[in-house]
Amino acid sequence: MDDTPSRPAAPSEKPFTLTREYLQSGGLSDSIRRTNPHVRLLTDDERCASLNAILADRPEHGDGLWVFAYGSLIWNPAMHITARLLARVQDWHRDYCLATTGGRGTPDNPGMLLGLKPGGACVGAVLRIDEDVLREELEILWRREMVADGYIPRWTAVETPAGKPLGSAIAFTINPEGPSYCGPMPEAELVRRIATARGSLGTAADYLFNTRDGLRSMGITDPLLERLGNAVSALQEKLA
């Protein structure tokens, strides 16, 4: 790989917003298929089977369920939710471990997205979906998070930051066997990718900044995202 840093991705005239309507129409899958025809996307049947499996294992039944948000779901859920609470999951931590050659990167300059990796703990938010719209909203969520096989949805125990149990939530954990999984890389390369990558959904830098700022708005300071945010801003200024 050429070690010369790329220029920062130029800001678009009108930033793209991932909406529920776009997801319902299959726009995300269509966009990835056009820009990355070599990427294997889940079929409608596979996605439906995945959703059916998670609902079949549902540990709690009542007036709705929780979804755990640790990345872009924090600042753009694109679903109808009735509550949002600060929450923590144990035994999983937030990390940059998923390469993207479509949404926020290209095959020539992949961007990076967050995933939940085993170990540690992660503070984010839980989003409540009402029972009467459950299937519709989860189908939108699956069209977003399960467009390919980068994540493994699973039920995780969630609690308040003080340790009070909140029940169970769906969380999208990283699939270490998926083709987009990235193991540890030098931080300088991670910063370069985030600072310079752009795809059909926007820049990898905006994804970082929006997630960092979304966490800040809830009173959460994530040391990794704060450090990367400072380094990405510095590199973008240097390359401008």
Please confirm, yes or no, whether 226 is among the known catalytic residues: no
| Mean pLDDT value of segment 37-65 | 93
| Mean pLDDT value of segment 215-234 | 97
Q: What is the pLDDT of residues 91-114, one digit of tens each?
A: 999 999 999 998 899 999 999 999
Per-residue DSSP letter, 145: H
Domain ranges of the chain: 20-239
Q: Are 235 and 5 in contact (CB under 8 A)?
A: yes
For domain 20-239, give the fold: Hypothetical upf0131 protein ytfp (3.10.490)
* 58-81 as b/e: b if 16+ CB within 10 A: eeeeeebbbbbbbbbbbbbbbbeb
Q: What is the pLDDT of residues 163-178, one digit of tens each?
A: 999 999 999 999 999 9
Specify the higher pLDDT residue, 201 or 116: 116
pLDDT grade, residue 4 (50/70/90)? very low
Per-residue DSSP letter, 181: B
CA–CA separation, 99 and 103 (whole Å)? 10
Mean pLDDT taken over the chain: 92
Per-residue CA distances from 46 to 7, 101, 148 (Å): 38, 22, 10
Q: Spot the catalytic one: 60, 139, 145, 237.
A: 145
At position 113, the amino acid (one-letter code) is L
Phi and psi torsions of 71, nearest 5°: -130, -120
